[in-house]
Amino acid sequence: MSITLTKEKITATVKIITEYGGTGIFKCVQCGACSAVCPSIKAGFPVLCRLLIKKLLIGQLEEIIEEPSSWACQACCRCSEVCPQGVKPQEVVFAFRRFQANELAISTASTTSLIDLHATGHAAHTTTYRELRAGVGLPEQPPTTVSDAKGLQEVQTILENCLMGELGFY
């Protein structure tokens, strides 16, 4: 199956990626330096770095919306460090991920962390922490939003007023 290249699709895709933060995408010369150092590509998630940029630059966006590779990006920024063109591929990956997320193409794990973040101020919240903390001689509650109502209120205000607030997770 061949891919039809249209100027409109390419322009629209680059515009969306740029708006979500992948502003360097046009500077890519497809050298592959980024892919060579990417741990997630090594682990078997191919659509990152050079290949993701290639797909986006030919206007593939909706076509790859279910692609899991972007969620396996470690945000390690090895790619951005070595890119000779200043593309900052990690920011392109995250821009694409933001496109997916805002179209609700996300995993249940992300949904749970968002609900926890809103409810407690912590994305990785547990129910057993009090005993663990007391066991090592610490106060049962850490001095964070779990024990500070004002701080939690502030976090909730930000989450309820931001763009994510409209997506209906919490």
167 within 8 A of 100, measured Cβ to Cβ:
no
Name the DSSP letter for residue 135. H
Cβ closest to ligand SF4, residue 31 vs residue 119 = 31
Cβ of residue 54: shortest distance to other proteins, in angstroms? 21
Count of residues binding other proteins (CB under 8 A)? Answer: 63
Cβ of residue 98: shortest distance to other proteins, in angstroms? 6
Q: Is the dihedral of CA 117, 121, 124, 129 positive or negative?
A: negative
Long-range own/partner contacts, residues 100-106 (CB < 8 A, 24 or more apart): 100/65, 100/67, 100/70, 100/71, 102/163, 102/167, 103/65, 104/167, 105/65, 105/66, 106/71
Which of these ranges, 1-9, 27-35, 55-63, 74-82, lies near other proteins under the rule CB under 8 A?
A: 74-82
**CA pair distance 162, 170, nearest whole angstrom:** 12
Cβ closest to other proteins, residue 10 vs residue 102 = 102
Name the DSSP letter for residue 44. T
Residue 46 interacting with other proteins (CB under 8 A): no
Please, which residues have CB within 8 angstroms of residue 40's CB and are 6 or more apart in sequence?
48, 69, 72, 73, 74
Residue 31 interacting with other proteins (CB under 8 A): no
Cβ of residue 96: shortest distance to other proteins, in angstroms? 10
Which of these ranges, 3-11, 27-35, 55-63, 73-81, lies near other proteins under the rule CB under 8 A?
A: 73-81
Place of tokens 């933060």: 21
Which residues lie near other proteins (CB under 8 A)?
A: 20-21, 39-40, 42-45, 68, 71-78, 80-81, 90, 94, 97-98, 101-102, 106-107, 109-110, 113-114, 117, 121-126, 129, 132-133, 135-138, 142-145, 148, 150-152, 154-155, 157-159, 161-164, 167
